[in-house]
Every structure is written in C-alpha cells, then in structure tokens.
Structure 1
Amino acid sequence: MKVETRSIEYIPADERHGKARDLFPIWFGANMHITTLVTGALPIALGLNLFWSLGAIVIGTLLGAIFMASHSAQGPQLGIPQMIQSRAQFGVIGAIFPLFLVMFVYLGFFASSGLLAAQTLSSLTKIDQTWSILALNVLCFVATIYGYNLIHKMQKVLSWASLFIYIAATYIVFQLHVPSGSWGMGQLDLPVFLLAVSMVATWQLAYAPYVADYSRYLPVTTPTSHTFWYSYAGTVIGTIWMMTLGATLTVAIPNFLDHSGGNLAGLFGNFAIIMFLIIIFGQLAINVFNLYGAFMATITTIEPFIKLKVTPKVRIAMIFCVTVAGTVLCLLGQSNFLAFFLNFIFFISYFLIPWTSINLVDYYLLRHGQYNVKDIFDVNGQYGKINWIACVAFIVSILAEIPFINTTFYVGPVAKFFDGADIAWVIGLIVPAALYYFPMRKKLNSSSIIVRNSSTTNHLEKDVK
C-alpha cells in the first residue's frame, strides 16, 4: 500500500480508477457507526415516540441526502476535492471563510467520534480512557497518511462486516420490550417533528464539504447519475438503519446513552467482543474521514498564500498537526466541554447550508459543470480573489437563518414563536439560491458578451489587415 501522493491538485486521467459502485460501501460504511446511532436518539430526546421519530429520520435523511449526493457527483467531472471547488463561486481568497467553518465541523466530529470510540475501548480492555483516545488517534493518523485508496478499502471491509453484525443486532433490538404506544401514531407535535427532521437533514448536509473527495479519482467518463445514486443509496440505507436502532435502543434500555457502546455490545452476551470490535472499527473509519477532510481543508486554506508542494514529509507533518488539534479537543471532551462544543458544531453546521446551496446552484444551474480547473488554483485567474456576489449571498443567508434556528446553544425568535419548529435549513437552501443565481447569471452573461465581442473585433481587425 503506497502513501497517497496527491492532495488538493487535479487528478490526471491516467491516475483515475474505480467504478461508481465503489461509492456505495464508502457511504454505507460511513454511517454504520455508533455516532450515527446516538444521533438517532435525538428525536426521542425531543419527546417524539418511535413512530414519529422514525418518520423524522426517514424524511430528514431522504431530503438531506439529495444535496449530499449532488456534491458527490461533482468529483469525477472536476477531479479535485470538494472545498477547493468553492473557489469558483467565492473566489480563491473568498473561499477561506466557508473553509474556516468547515474546519470546526471536522474537528468537532473528530472529537465526538473519538470519545465514543475511546469509551468503548476502555469498556473492553479496562485501559484508561485518556490512553484509549491517544492510541486510537494514532491509528487514525497512520491510516490518513495512506489516504484515498486505503480509506476505500477500509470502508469495503467495514461495510461487509457491519452488514452481518448489524443484521444480528437488529434482530436482537427488535425483540426488546418498548413502552406501549411507542409505535402508535398518537398526536403529532409538529414543531418538535420539524426540529427532528432538521437535525437529521443536517446530519446528511454535514457530509457535503468532503463528499466529492472520495469520488474525484473516478474516471471523468463516470455517469453523473451513477455517482449520485450510489452515494445516495449508501448514505440513506446506512443512516436510516443506524438511527432507527439508536431510537429504539434509547426507548428500550434505560440510560442507554450514558454508555451507548457498552450497552449495545452487552446485547450480544458472550459474543459482545464482536460488537465491541465493530464499534471501534466504525469509529476509527469515520474519524479517518474527518482527519482526511481536515487535512484537505487546511491545505486549501493556506495554498493561496504559500505555494506549498505537498511532499510525503509535508503531508505527514500537516496531518500530525491536525491530529494533535483533534486529540486535544477529544481529551477536553471527557469533561462537560464536549456537550457545549458539539452544540456549537451543529450551530456552525447551519452556516454551511448556504454554502451548499451556492455551490450546487453554480454547478448545476449556472455553469453546468464547466470550469477552468487551472484557474481554480490561480489567485489571478478568472474566478478572482473574492467574488462578492457569493460572499454577500452567504453572509445575508446566514443572517436570515438565525431567527429560525433551534438548538440548545441558541433558539431564534421565529423558532420560539412557532413552539420550537426549526426550518432554518430550508431557509439556508432557498435564500442563497435566489441571492446568488440572479446576479451571478447576469454577471456570467455579461462576461460571455464581452468575450464574443472581443472575438468579433479580432476577426474584423484581421479582415482589415
């Protein structure tokens, strides 16, 4: 296994490999872990029963995954990581603002997933939790150094292993007793239901900043529809499955969330070690995703200012620095800091939704996937340093979202007025789409007119000569 030599640069045609179907195990496996399962408990924590919790999980996943998979489909066409492609919308320097927010999200999820893995490892081996965090993060560091190909292989192994183990787990879980009425329709608390849908949809949207990182090596001839549907199917099936288990376990086992990994493994009795190992492997795999994405975002942020050649030594040094930052947060997370920090991360995630909208509108509706990749790396290229249309649309959309947000960190006035209903993610998709599309279409049309006029003038001058 060779260390990956590419970072944020374009992947040449002769280095492209794989099939679109390879994306299914990537995104199926990316959701088959304890963090997804714990997230599925949120609708229950909000007060919904199992029936309406499952409804929120299904609707939120089906909607959010549309945007996630739409980003994935960009990878084979452009051959570059997801966030660096944002330079075509925001400008080479302007793209740093959403990149900075993405870094918080990566590190936040790295800390939370690492802590859950360490808790599970400590339960299995009785190793001190701090040492468990350090040992697991070293493994993540090593895997991230090898990069793209190793991550794909890890996800295939995880997907197959998870498939069989979680089939058994599902059978066991649905034998557990749940309170009467848990599966009844009853009376729906619509504001709480909308909040639960929002949380689940945001889970999918959080993948958007790095989903194309894992499709960029596919041949450019890969059909866009294939890339979309394999990504979509993998993430939808994995997410709904795990979140449904999480919601059911939270209802069936008192204080399940106090030690989710140990409680889940305990259901297997004498075979608990198998589930312990799957849980730890799953957490390692998703944290390699987070670390790899954080590395890409770091390179993309500093590249306009320092033309850094990412040699193996530079790669190792930068991944090490990101690992140290994530490990520090994970160690702090052993106290009550983690609850505050994760709430802050979900709060930040709302601010990335307008980025998703701007990126997809630009790619699918305005430029139709046609970009000058060379200029994406040129601060003086056609995309410029800062595209104020995108930056203003981004900032205004964030401000428009704030009144609709409902988190433990902050509740907006509109959300309060509607008894906690949260539709901020819908606002974050619609508002920037309108604010960006119309002025940017006018700008692009003007540019094309100038190019055509310039071409006509050149032809006239040649004729005169």
Structure 2
Amino acid sequence: MTPHEHAGIATAGGEGVEIESHSIDYIPESERHAKLSSQGPFWFLGNFHFFTISIGFVGPSMGLSAGWTTLGGALGIMFGTIFMAFHGSQGPEMGLPQMIQSRAQFGYRGVALALLATLFVFVGFNVVNVSLIMSGLKEVFGLSPALVAVVAAVAGGLLAVFGHDVMHKAFKWALIATLPLYALVTLALLFGVGKGGAGAASAATAVSAAGAHAGFNWVAFITQFAIGASYNISYAPYVSDYSRYLPKHTSRAKLISAIFLGASLSGTWMIGLGAWLAQQLQATDALVALNQVGAKLFPGCGAILVVVSVAGFLPIIALNTYSAMLTLLTGVDSFRKIQPTRRARVGAVLAISAIVLVCTLSIPGNGVALLNTFLVLMLYFLVPWTAVNLVDYFFVRKGRYAITHFFTPNGIYGAWQVRGIAAYLVGFAAMIPFFSIVDNESGKEIFVGYFAHQMSGVDLAWLVGLIVAGATYYVLSRSLDLSAEEKVIRTIGERDILAMTRQSAEH
C-alpha cells in the first residue's frame, strides 16, 4: 500500500475530493474522524425516498386502508430498526465492517454462508432500486429504461468508489434537497391536492379494486408489518460499515438512539405517504404519483419532484454498492488473501454494478410486485444471521473480541465455526413451513408453507427464524471457552491489530 492508502483517504486531482482507501481492514483510532451527529441524518435519508414510499403501496394493494397501512408499516419499521440500531453500535467498538466481525460466529471461511445471504440482499436491493427508477422515468418522461439503468448504476458506483466520506456528504445534500419537497407533497395530500386524478391510475386496476373495499384484514396488516420490519432489518449487515469511523468510545446508547430515531421516523413518514398516495390516487408507481401531485401545485413542480427524487436516491444505490463491495472482498479474502487497496475496491464495485445492470435489464415484471416479493425473500435470508450475530455480540461474547484473529483462519475463531453455521441453518429450516411467498401482481402463490396455509397466508416466518436461530446459537455457545478467549484479548493492543491487518494484506 502507499502512504496515502495507510492514511485511509487520498485526494483526487488536488481539489479536496477524498477517496477512501480502507475497505475490509481495521480503522485505526487516529483515523476515526466521523461524528455522532451525522448518524441520525444519514439514516434518516436512508429511508427518506420514493423506494420507501413504494412500500406504502403494499397494504392498499391487499385491501388495507391507508391508516392501517401506516400503522402496520410504522410498527414494522420500528421493530426492524431495533436490530439495525444495535448492529450499528458495533462499528465504533470494533472499527471493522460488519461481515468481517461475523467471522467470530461463522469462522474465517464459514462466514461465506452469511456473505452469500447478504450479497443477495445488496445486489437485489439495487436491482429493485434501478427497476423502480426505470419504470418511473419511462412513465413520466418517456426515457429509455436501458439508458436510465446504465446512468443510475454508474452514478451509484462512482459514489461507492469515492467511499465513506463522500457518501456521507452526498447523503447530507440529498436530504437538504428532498426534505422540503416531500414536506410539500405531504401538505398537498393533507389538503386534498391531486385527489381523483387519473394520471397515476392507468395501471392501477388491482389497487383501485382493493381500495374500493379498503379496511382492515390481518393478512394484509401482518404482511405490511413484515415488509416494514424486513426493510430496516435489511440494513443490519451494513449499518456498522458507516459507523466504523466513529471514535471507539462513542456512547453506545446515544448511537443506537440516533440510528433508531433517524431510520424509524423517515420510514414511518414515507410509508404513510405511500399509503395515502395509493388510497387517494390509486398510485402504483411512486415517481408517477409524485409527478401527479406536483403538477397540481404549479407548472413544472411535478418534473422537479421526480428529478430531485431520483437524484436524491442515487446515494442509496451507492450505499448498497459500497456494502456489496465490502461483502465481496470479505468473501474472496476468506479463501484467498487480497490486499484491501483502492484497486481492489474499484474492481469489486465495477463487478457488482455490472451484475446489477444485467439482472435489472433481464428481469421483467411490475416494480412494486417485484419489491414486495424481494423484501419477503430478503427477510428470510437475513433473519437467522442477524439473530446469531446479535446474540453473540450482546449475550455471549458481550462485545469482547480478539480483532487480530478475524484476519487468520488459524486464530481462536478458526476456519469454520459449527455453532453459527448450525444455528443459521436450523433457524432457516424452521422458517420454511411458515414461508408465504405470493406474487401480488397475479395473486399466484409462489411458495406457501403448511403453517402459513393454516393461518390464511399470515407470514410469521421471520419471528420463528429470530427465535429459533438466536436460541439455538445461545445454547450451542454454552460450550465456548470464553475465559481462554479473554486471556488472548488482553494481550492484543492496537499496534498488534494494525500489524496483523497489514501482514494479512501483504500475505
């Protein structure tokens, strides 16, 4: 590595644009320059966009009223954010990306199981992200979907290449741009602006039919809750990627509170906004609906809303690309040592962006239906991992880890950790009879397990997975020799960590 790479950032073109060089390595305390005050706004914007608005369409499409959809979505968002926020506290305490730390539960090589699940989430999220942008811009401006997909993937990839600091700045400016506009749309809906328009209803037959009898039903309510929960649980594998530059002794309680408030407030707001757009305008596309409301306010407002919404959403694409890059590099490094240089980061970002483009352009279907199905699948894959990771961190090892041993298969965590792998697989297997995967666009059942059938399609698989995987891991971990681990931990200082990570990279 060059001296600049060891310093963590580099300056491009002499103009103060900072390019991050760290990836899956340890962040020294001398480079922990992030501030706690940035976490709340960062994660507020993480949910403050039209993707989250689209989640509010799910309840009305199943016959749930806007009020019940908002409540179900809000409760789900808050439930999922609990897990997300507690994962976020691991960043400053460990100074590592989330999935490197998971080697303690799954082993140096065994972590590949969790990496496959999380990589599916990151790539899948961006496939849905870009699909929603493509369909929205085609409806509003008639733009070529393929061209839109390329531009969105390239813009998100570029931000991911610049990394942590530039992405935090992009989130800040995106929030400044979108906050007043979404506030304006919310006020407009409260005063009935846009109600009854036909612009967003041309493709809304299913939503309109369901909305005509909108009320309450348990299947729709639980589905909306589960989708809201899965949406923020999905941040669990990468929230600490963006908190690892905070000082080591950052208050855990304050950090958890900042992440929880930021992510849950914006998520609740946007899901509620989507629910009312669906009920009042029969909306099935968030960008089309925003354009419709804006057009009723004053000429050109609709176009401004759409353009700013898409521009403000690009950092979210970068967020998924960046964490997918960390996950991919961790996976490769688990089997073949790599140097965590800027070249490796750029190569991983290019590969991930290419995969997203190929998948986006080859997968047909309605954006909201794709969104619903993907969020359900994502929850199934992530729940056993988040249960194992949090139980280990807060109840088994209680935040005490030998960081140098994350970088070798011969350390105290070994190449394969049977406890974590077994708990994940047992938790996932226990969920299968509770799976409820339905294509909302056609109403066709993709896979509905025995118990889900008995409960009329109510999906409780996520709850079963959390309990079974977490409990299984806790029981299996009773045989761990934590006193021996503690003796190793006490001998390790930051110089040892830096030497080990450097040696690991140069291996």
Establish whether TM, by shorter chain, passes 0.5: yes
Counterpart of 1:410 in 2: which secondary structure? strand
Alignment length (residue pairs): 447
Q: CA deviation at 1:97?
A: 0.5
Q: CA deviation at 1:313?
A: 2.4
Q: CA deviation at 1:265?
A: 1.9
Residue number among 51, 55, 72 corresponding to 2:88 in the alignment = 72
Residue number among 245, 249, 252 corresponding to 1:224 in the alignment = 252
Matched, 1:428 2:465: yes
CA contact (8 A) 2:51 2:129 kept: yes
Deviations 1:172-194 (A, max 9, x none): 12233489x989996x4234322
Distance 1:307 1:80, change over 3 A: same
Distance 1:374 1:183, change over 3 A: farther
Distance in 1 between residues matched to 2:294 and 2:266, nearest whole Å: 21
Q: CA deviation at 1:28?
A: 0.7
Distance 1:340 1:33, change over 3 A: closer
Distance in 2 between residues matched to 1:430 and 1:228, nearest whole Å: 22
Distance 1:450 1:15, change over 3 A: closer
- Matched residue type, 2:473: Y
CA contact (8 A) 2:132 2:367 kept: no
- Larger RCO (alpha carbons 8 Å, 6+ apart): 1
Distance 1:115 1:419, change over 3 A: same
Matched, 1:440 2:506: no
CA contact (8 A) 1:17 1:219 kept: yes
Counterpart of 1:208 in 2: which secondary structure? coil
Task: Report % sequence identity.
Answer: 32
Q: CA deviation at 1:149?
A: 0.4
Residue number among 26, 36, 40 corresponding to 1:20 in the alignment = 36
Alignment correspondent of 1:267: 293
Residue pairs, 1:334-413, within 5 angstroms: 334-335=364-365, 343=373, 346-408=376-438, 409-413=446-450
Alignment correspondent of 1:214: 242
Distance 1:120 1:289, change over 3 A: same
CA contact (8 A) 2:127 2:356 kept: yes
- Matched residue type, 1:211: V
Q: CA deviation at 1:298?
A: 0.2
Matched, 1:89 2:105: yes
CA contact (8 A) 1:31 1:235 kept: yes
Distance 1:147 1:155, change over 3 A: same
Alignment correspondent of 1:457: none
Distance in 2 between residues matched to 1:318 and 1:380, nearest whole Å: 26
CA contact (8 A) 1:51 1:184 kept: no
Distance in 1 between residues matched to 2:227 and 2:74, nearest whole Å: 12
Distance in 2 between residues matched to 1:115 and 1:164, nearest whole Å: 25
Matched, 1:321 2:351: yes
- Matched residue type, 1:346: V
Q: CA deviation at 1:106?
A: 1.1
What TM-score results when the alignment is normalised by the length of structure 1? 0.91
Distance in 2 between residues matched to 1:164 and 1:338, nearest whole Å: 25
Distance 1:446 1:230, change over 3 A: closer
Alignment correspondent of 1:2: 18
Distance in 1 between residues matched to 2:482 and 2:242, nearest whole Å: 33
Counterpart of 1:267 in 2: which secondary structure? helix
- Matched residue type, 2:88: S
Distance 1:123 1:44, change over 3 A: closer
- Matched residue type, 1:265: N
CA contact (8 A) 1:114 1:136 kept: yes
Distance 1:337 1:149, change over 3 A: closer
Q: CA deviation at 1:268?
A: 1.2
**Structure 1 residues without counterparts, runs of 5 or longer:** 452-465
